[in-house]
Amino acid sequence: MTFFESHLSCKGKRNIIFSLTKTKDDNMSMNMIFFGPPGSGKGTYSDRICPGFGIPHISTGDIFRHAIAEKTELGKKVESLLKTGKLVDDKTVMNIIKERLKKPDCKKGFVFDGFPRTLEQAKELEKIAKIDLVINLNLADEILIEKALARRICEKCGNVYNIADIKRNGISMPPLLPKKTGICDKCSGKLIQRKDDNEQTLKDRLDVYREQTMPLIEYYKKRGMIKNVDVVAGPEIMVPKILAVIKKELKA
Residues recognised as catalytic: 42, 117, 151, 194, 205
**Separation of CA 248 from chain center:** 21
* Strands of the sheet with 191-192, listed across from one edge: 160-162, 151-154, 191-192
Paired with 167 in beta bridges are 172
Q: Which long-range contacts (CB under 8 A, 24 or more apart) does 148-151 make?
A: 148/38, 148/39, 148/197, 148/202, 149/197, 149/198, 149/199, 149/202, 150/175, 151/39, 151/193, 151/194, 151/197
Element (H, E) at 160: strand 160-162
Burial of 178 from C-beta contacts in 10 A (0-12 / 13-18 / 19+): middle
Give the CA count within 13 Å in the CB-facing half-sphere of 4. 15
Distance CA 237, CA 233 (A): 6
Element (H, E) at 200: helix 199-221
